[in-house]
Structure 1
Amino acid sequence: MSDKRLSPIVVVGMACRVPGADSVDAFAQLLFNGQTGYAELPADRCDRTLYFDPNKGKAGKSYTTLGGTVPERPLNRMLCPLSEQTESLFDQTHLQFAEVAATAWRNAELLPQDVRLQGTGIYVGHSGGTKSGGGLSLGTQIEEALTFVDDIDAFRQLPAGMRHDIVMEVARAIRRERPSRRPDALPSYHAYQAASLAARILGLTGPRTVIDAACASSLVALAQAMLAIRAGRI
């Protein structure tokens, strides 16, 4: 095994949060006991008045209310020492990932901000969207999205001033319940924030890579990390 390309890769720390399991041990028990991680979707993840229909084949509807979700919880500030103001600028998905990464780091008995480990890279498989990205996009572009009302005959017949006031009122109502872009381009919900936030919390300055390869994202990210190690880049 003297060939560096064939040297084994060692897993020194682990952590996870998956549907039905909040830790590696809980996930192992779920598997060994033949249990499943799916359950009835909570109301905040599935608005049944909008998306549920027991009859199969209805466009835009789901005929099941079962699914696998990871419950949200307050950020562990012992692991992720962020201020509330800073936390508010990041997507919940990326905050939860950063906490899992910090847990895995501690599981390996490593300490954050260790200058000897600053060159460590973070490789993330991230194919999904973010919780707040859709709301941010809608709130930012709502006026453009509302141009469809011009296709409604009754709306076109209203006085121009009234049409404008209606569109603006709807836009304000939508923005009140959604994040909005600030002049400094924050908040930022881009996928790369998953790696950047974890690196920030752990004090790492090495490569930060986020890979979208659909359902193979995590495996491809792991493969890229292994190639980087064997090539001596990290």
Structure 2
Amino acid sequence: MGDLQDIAIVGIGCRFPGADNLEEFWRVLRNGENHVKEVPASRWNLDVFFDPDPNTPGKTYVRNAGFVKGVEEWDHRFFGLNDMEAELVDPQQRLVLECVHMALEDGGIRRNDIDGSDTAVYIGTHDELI
């Protein structure tokens, strides 16, 4: 199994439908909130992409989902990206960058403190529907 090394989780960053951080997520859980709703027009035109037949190519048979707010809003310059790079970044990658920064802040770590250090960031995600 190899040598075991200690690790420490020093901060958490997360975004969920209805929650922009861990504290808000616990509120959602405590209150039993449901943030699944019909796909808003700001995401895509549901009338164009919806078909109740799940086998219809190029269509979705789902009308409802949980959405993280503000995925289109981010400060790419904060992360050292120019305008051209920023246009190509997938929204999920944006969220990862923001959540990693949030986790560092949560752990009391500034980016300058870890520049050039042997620091690793481990990221977990789960997107399977239950």
Aligned amino acid, residue 109 of structure 2: L
Alignment of 1:75-154 (within 5 A): 75-76=74-75, 80-115=79-114, 118-125=117-124
Please say which structure displays the higher CA radius of gyration.
Answer: 1
SS of 2:123's equivalent?
A: strand
* TM-score, structure 2 normalization: 0.71
Whichever residue aligns with residue 119 of structure 1, its letter is: D
* CA 1:121–1:58: 2 relative to 1, 3 Å: closer
Give TM-score, length-normalised by structure 1.
Answer: 0.43
Residue aligned with 1:114, SS: helix
* Counterpart Cα distance in 2 of 1:79 and 1:103: 13
Distance 2:33 2:72 in 1: 23
Q: What is the one-letter code of the residue matched to 1:23? A: N
Say yes or no: does 1:21 pair with 2:19: yes
**Hey, which of these two has a bigger chunk of helix by percent?**
1
Deviation at 1:117, TM superposition (A): 6.3
Percent identical among aligned pairs is 26
Higher RCO, 1 or 2 (CA under 8 Å, sep at least 6)?
2
- Cα distance in 1 between the residues matched to 2:65 and 2:14: 18
- Give the direction of change, closer, same or farther, for the CA distance of 1:28–1:115 in structure 2 (3 Å limit): closer
> What's the offset of the Cα at 1:86?
3.5
Counterpart in the other structure of 1:39: 37
Q: Gaps spanning 5+ residues in structure 2: where?
A: none
Unaligned runs of 5+ in 1: 129-214, 216-234
Q: Name the CA distance, whole Å, in 1 between partners of 2:106 and 2:78.
A: 12
The number of equivalent residue pairs is 123
Give 1:11's aligned residue.
Answer: 9
What RMSD over aligned residues (CA atoms) do the two structures have, in Å? 3.1
